[in-house]
A and B are shown apart, each in its own frame.
Chain A
Amino acid sequence: MSSQIWETRPLEIWGKAKELRARWQRSIDESAAAPGSLLAHGNAGEIDWSVGFDSLNIVEDNPHGAMLASLSDEYARKCRLASETRGWGRELCGYVNNCWGSMFLGYQLDGSGFPMRDMSVPFPDVCDQHTKRGQQCMDYSPIPRWGGDCTMYLGPYDPDREKALVEHKVQCTLGAINDIERIFGKEFDDEKLVKGLGARPQMEKYGLEITRLMARTPAPLSSKELYSFFTIGMLTKVDPDEALGFWKALRDETKWRADNRIAAVGNERYRMMEAHPPAWHYLKFYRYLEKYGAVCIGSQYTHTMSGPLELKEDGTLGPRTKNAPPPDRPVRTREDALRRIFSTDARGPQVYKIDEYIRPRSISEFATGMGVNGAIMPLWRCGVGCTLTRKEQALQLNGIGISVLHYEGSQPGDRTDMDERRFLDQIDVWMEGQGFGKLED
């Protein structure tokens, strides 16, 4: 590339990441058929209690639906039609309509049968679609489903309000675990859950180091890489020790790249951030931005790998001060473990969405800490969890001198109304408006 400023290199850890993801995908495919294995719909991302059940795989419809839209627009349309004819709003979450449309059709993209879920576990989230999520498979099979809440209040941390909210979260999760043991005859391994408690904070420490390294110029990683890695050990279920090893290796490689000025984008001269989630089927727009020397350093969404962040006095991003210390008592049982996790803030730990409610300034803090020049924020119609407050966030970024480009579409898992050519034209106008021409064409 004639305009190259920095050296670039492929990441060595790609192979390991691919292996972990492939193994997880295989375990899902096999668990539908393997005797004794259980396949659940949902997400235990907030707190991975599923680690206590050896034979339980929890799969979320979001990544599955996004993948379908990316792999085959034709098949995804069939899926959405199958949902719509059953009454699902045509303008609603594309992930949901794709994934469960596939269940209604009865076959997957490759022609194999749809792996029916054995249960639906709650996935509390501020997004209303998450609250309703899992009803399709619950009603269709039918299978057991448990409830949960994304407990919320506005204003500063309030210990009086926390008490009942934390108890509610603990009891909802405990109820689900106890019921799964009873209904499916599976034993829950408390020790594994307790052991897993230690892995998550350590993974977040590595994640935080990566975030801070990405604040350097040139950025050693970009959004594209983060999208491949940021779910490993969380949404992509991996043995906690192996996950920890992966994150340590990723941190080491990122550090080496940052120290040696190995760039994600060789002609980096413009840094931008985004808001969750992007047009999954059209991630090539990051490549187009590279023609302008622009690198996307991610979003609050991708940087959830670092845990809750805040801008420190020295201008860098650091771990957010905890509202309350965890209870000072030994963690021996599943109940102890759940209390340990939930007790520091009933509104956590999925902070990137909660922040939109309780700490709206955090997007400006993120932008400042990462030293970005601009932001691309998609607007998804009726995207309650994907678009809520996005316009207000853009106004806030404008207020600190950051230019924002919006692009529109139906839903992140629905290509129908996404005008890709128009989006590229918008990028041209946006970059040229800021005085940047293409470095190559």
Chain B
Amino acid sequence: MDRFRNILENRHDYAREWKKRTGGRVLGYYETYMPEEVAYAAGALPVRIMAGHRADDVTDRQMYGNCYCTRDMLRQFLEGDYDYVDGVVNTEGCQWMYNAFQTAVNRRPGLFSHYIFVPDYTDGRTSKDVLKSELGVFRGRLEEWTGSAITDGALDAAIDVYNENRRLLRRIYELRRLDRPAILGSEAMGLLLASQIMDKAEMNVMLRELIPEIERRAPAEDGVRLMLIGSETYDVELERIVESAGGNVVVDELDNGSSYIWNETIPMQDRLMALALRYLGRPHSALKDNVWRRRPQRIYELYEDFHADGVVIAKQIYCHPHGSDMYAVWKMLRERNIPYHTFERDTTLPPSETRQRIEALIGMIKPGMTRLRGWSEA
């Protein structure tokens, strides 16, 4: 677990070292709808551009009213943190992400850059054809950039590596589902985040060693089981605060959490169509959950499956996809009498204020929990 934590905390060093070791190219991406398999098949390392926590005094010149994540992504680009990135890719999604992407490209015009249109209307009759076509264009651009063809064999191998990674991380989620989980929410989220910046083949080897170790662990102390939903997150601070308040985040419905790994690519003769179906069929992001709604039901199912006791909704301020989808989530939670607490977060997570909020939520849930009382008596 410490190895993953180190990689996540020193993610820029990891990518630089990977480049040195393999001679490959690093491709930064902004949205989780990025079809990483195609880039991986081209020999590149897809690395999620992640926000950090540093005071920002540079992006005001280019941005206004954006969420802090995208401001920090741009800040890191402007300050050279991502100087090892050889190219950047954005997929249709949040416009603030687009802003961070486009401005980075404007400032570093020599970068390889590409935009993939992933339909927001994911369930349209012709949406899969659109995405398949876009993947074909992306494949062509990458071939041109690297100077070598992306063979079907390379795509198959990449799909296998990514599917295995998703499968292994789903096993981590199963360990969180236990009555007394052997893994903490902060540890699990750390793995999820690490998977977005690591070479998946390398990570799979490490995960295969790690999972049996976790399975052998003594179960964690009993506590209030919480579910986390809301805007994307780039650290595990919130999960740690929950743990310090006597709770545990046992499941999430985050775009770069469970939604990132939940479904696999089902192999087909037509590889690009298989990938198109995987990305359109993945759990909807808030933005793409717009005609045939899946999010509220999926949230409820996860809540039930993981025996959660309450929900924390952490929304980035100025996050419009979640700000405009939250009413449907609130409605579902209210109708089912599920306790929840919503709060807005900004550049950093104020520890004492956040802790107070989480303690209040846990304090509200705990008295009604016969499960906890029964166990403590036993």
A residues in contact (CB < 8 Å) with B: 83, 86-89, 91-93, 96, 122, 126-129, 131-132, 135-136, 139, 145-154, 158, 160-161, 163-165, 167-168, 171-172, 175, 357, 379-385, 387-392, 395, 406
User: Which of A132, A145, A165, A395 makes the CB contact (< 8 A) with B325?
Assistant: A132
Given A86-B327, A89-B320, A175-B125, A391 and B95 touching (CB < 8 A)?
no
**B119 and A164 contacting across the interface, CB-CB below 8 Å:** no
- Number of B residues, CB within 8 Å of A: 53
A-B contact pairs, 16 of them (CB 8 A): A86-B331, A87-B342, A88-B327, A128-B320, A131-B287, A132-B287, A135-B325, A139-B328, A149-B119, A164-B133, A168-B119, A381-B64, A382-B320, A388-B99, A391-B61, A392-B103
User: Which of B63, B95, B126, B342 makes the CB contact (< 8 A) with A126?
Assistant: B95
Beta-carbon nearest neighbor of A126 in chain B: B95
**B95 and A172 contacting across the interface, CB-CB below 8 Å:** no
Number of interchain pairs (Cβ within 8 Å): 162
**B328 and A153 contacting across the interface, CB-CB below 8 Å:** no
**A87 and B125 contacting across the interface, CB-CB below 8 Å:** no
**A357 and B98 contacting across the interface, CB-CB below 8 Å:** yes
User: Which of B64, B124, B290, B322 makes the CB contact (< 8 A) with A168?
Assistant: B124
Closest Cβ–Cβ distance, residue B57 to chain A (whole Å): 15
**A132 and B290 contacting across the interface, CB-CB below 8 Å:** yes
**A91 and B133 contacting across the interface, CB-CB below 8 Å:** no
CB-CB under 8 A from A83, the residues of chain B are 327
A160, B63: Cα distance in complex, Å: 33
Interface residue? B326 (CB, 8 A):
yes
CB-CB under 8 A from B137, the residues of chain A are 153, 158, 160-161
**B133 and A163 contacting across the interface, CB-CB below 8 Å:** yes
User: Which of A136, A151, A381 makes the CB contact (< 8 A) with B117?
Assistant: A151
Given A92-B320, A151-B117, A168-B119, A391 and B62 touching (CB < 8 A)?
yes
**B64 and A390 contacting across the interface, CB-CB below 8 Å:** yes
A93, B94: Cα distance in complex, Å: 15
Q: Mark B113-143, 1 if CB is under 8 A from A, else 0.
A: 1110101110111110110111001000000
**B318 and A96 contacting across the interface, CB-CB below 8 Å:** no
A11, B291: Cα distance in complex, Å: 45
Beta-carbon nearest neighbor of B319 in chain A: A89
Given A148-B121, A153-B117, A391-B64, A135 and B290 touching (CB < 8 A)?
yes
A390, B62: Cα distance in complex, Å: 8
Closest Cβ–Cβ distance, residue A133 to chain B (whole Å): 8
Given A86-B327, A167-B126, A379-B65, A384 and B121 touching (CB < 8 A)?
no
User: Which of B62, B114, B325 makes the CB contact (< 8 A) with A392?
Assistant: B62
Given A147-B290, A382-B65, A153 and B121 touching (CB < 8 A)?
no
CB-CB under 8 A from A147, the residues of chain B are 120-121, 123-124, 290-291
**B121 and A172 contacting across the interface, CB-CB below 8 Å:** yes
CB-CB under 8 A from A172, the residues of chain B are 121, 124, 126
**B323 and A89 contacting across the interface, CB-CB below 8 Å:** yes
